[in-house]
């Protein structure tokens, strides 16, 4: 173990400041921030000016800096920082889920090439140590699925709208004020953020590197007052669920809102909390719950990675070496409620199996089994909303079906 790690930090926003504070309040790790690279020279900051630099080379070329900690918003710039740091023989900690999702296989190969690790626990579900558990605790378990609430911002918004009767705009604004929502809120509310996290989780759950554009994401921005009323009348909650599961040599993964029964443990996960449920052949079903958004929860996860590097920890990507024959697929049918504003936007022919339809307060509703690809195309139409059924029947073909109830 290195006695006193020196850190070079990129970015000093919500997570960067959280890391600074948790680092100075803990006594379990000997590490200090030597330099912090930021862009805005005019911005007022709460710590002494001597910490800051505006030149990335001052960190990347400093032989005293052991670990580069990357916490910026720009995914392209973040990847260049990570790649250059590895080339310069420095370990990396990052929480940039978009950058990781887009470049994870390349980062995996860069780690092998340069012999330096990249850790990113803080990129997936904030304070929940899910990646370390997937790598270590579940390394020999036959995991069948991983699913849950992967985005604290949308869970916070849904809690405020559903339970406290706040408007969507008011709830979103408050989430941004608290630092829960991303600088671009569409990353959260349209389901991109949990998709990026799911892509990363799939690599550590099933050993499969998937590109984000392969994973279908549907957000919460089209949920209406009628949807909320329907949920309350039927004792349902509405949650944005990210899930991936393995079946017959294929891995399926997608993100979508879903009605879930109020007796379900996920229904009680409120505000900015995340929840991850893992199903394995041996450990069976286990549920992890923790804060998924905010300065301190993510900052503490980043600090945990820094501490792990002090003991030369690295991800081994064990599942990638155990089961390399898996392929990713979107060839699924799901049961969904589809709402729309105008006639002819959605038709019965869009469904593989149409169950019912009705109209209320100017909106049209259709319910039935429908392909993921069709759902994705419908979700891009103005005024079309999609929520999965409480027990969404997912079928791989006409003869193979599994229950996809969140339970």
What sign results for the dihedral spanned by CA atoms 6, 56, 188, 176? positive
Tokens 């790598």 sit on residue: 135
Are the CB atoms for 156 and 273 separated by under 8 Å? no
Q: Interior CA angle at 139 toward 133 and 143, to 5°? A: 90
Strands 118-119 and 363-371: unpaired
The active-site residue out of 34, 98, 197, 369 is: 197
Q: Interior CA angle at 36 toward 34 and 39, to 5°? A: 160
Is 197 an annotated catalytic residue? yes
Of 304, 298, 308, which is closest to residue 127 (Cα–Cα)? Answer: 298
- Report residue 2 as tokens: 């290195």
Q: How far apart are the first and last CA of the chain?
A: 42
Tokens 């909303």 sit on residue: 385
Of 329, 328, 338, 406, which is closest to residue 375 (Cα–Cα)? Answer: 338
Q: H or E stretch including 391? A: strand 391-395
Q: Which residues are catalytic?
A: 197
């Amino acid at each position: 173990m290195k006695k006193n790690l020196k850190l070079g930090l990129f970015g000093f926003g919500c997570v960067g400041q959280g890391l600074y504070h948790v680092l100075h309040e803990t006594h379990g790790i000997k590490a200090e921030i030597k330099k912090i690279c930021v862009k805005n020279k005019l911005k007022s900051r709460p710590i002494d000016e001597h910490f800051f630099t505006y030149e990335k080379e001052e960190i990347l070329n400093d032989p005293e800096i052991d670990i580069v900690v990357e916490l910026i918003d720009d995914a392209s710039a973040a990847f260049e920082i990570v790649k250059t740091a590895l080339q310069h023989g420095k370990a990396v900690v990052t929480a940039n889920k978009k950058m990781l999702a887009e470049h994870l296989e390349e980062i995996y190969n860069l780690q092998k090439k340069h012999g330096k690790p990249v850790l990113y626990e803080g990129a997936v579900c904030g304070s929940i140590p899910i990646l370390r558990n997937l790598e270590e605790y579940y390394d020999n378990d036959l995991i069948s699925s991983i699913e849950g609430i992967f985005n604290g911002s949308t869970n916070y918004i849904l809690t405020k709208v559903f339970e406290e009767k706040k408007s969507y705009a008011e709830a979103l604004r408050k989430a941004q004020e608290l630092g829960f929502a991303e600088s671009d809120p569409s990353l959260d509310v349209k389901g991109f953020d949990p998709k990026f996290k799911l892509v990363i989780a799939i690599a550590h759950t099933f050993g499969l590197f998937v590109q984000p554009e392969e994973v279908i994401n549907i957000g919460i921005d089209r949920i209406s007052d009628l949807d909320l009323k329907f949920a309350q009348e039927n004792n349902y909650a509405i949650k944005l669920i990210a899930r991936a599961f393995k079946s017959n040599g294929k891995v399926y993964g997608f993100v979508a809102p879903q009605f879930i029964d109020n007796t379900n443990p996920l229904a009680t996960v409120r505000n900015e909390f995340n929840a991850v449920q893992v199903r394995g052949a041996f450990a069976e079903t286990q549920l992890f719950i923790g804060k998924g958004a905010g300065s301190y929860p993510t900052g503490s996860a980043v600090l945990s990675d820094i501490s792990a590097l002090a003991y030369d920890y690295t991800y081994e990507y064990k599942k990638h070496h155990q089961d390399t024959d898996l392929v990713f697929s979107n060839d699924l049918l799901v049961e969904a409620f589809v709402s729309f504003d105008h006639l002819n936007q959605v038709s019965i022919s869009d469904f593989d199996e149409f169950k019912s339809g009705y109209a209320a307060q100017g909106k049209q509703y259709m319910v039935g089994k429908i392909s993921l690809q069709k759902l994705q195309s419908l979700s891009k139409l103005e005024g079309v909303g999609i929520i999965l059924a409480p027990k969404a029947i997912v079928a791989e073909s006409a003869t193979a079906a599994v229950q996809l109830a969140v339970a």
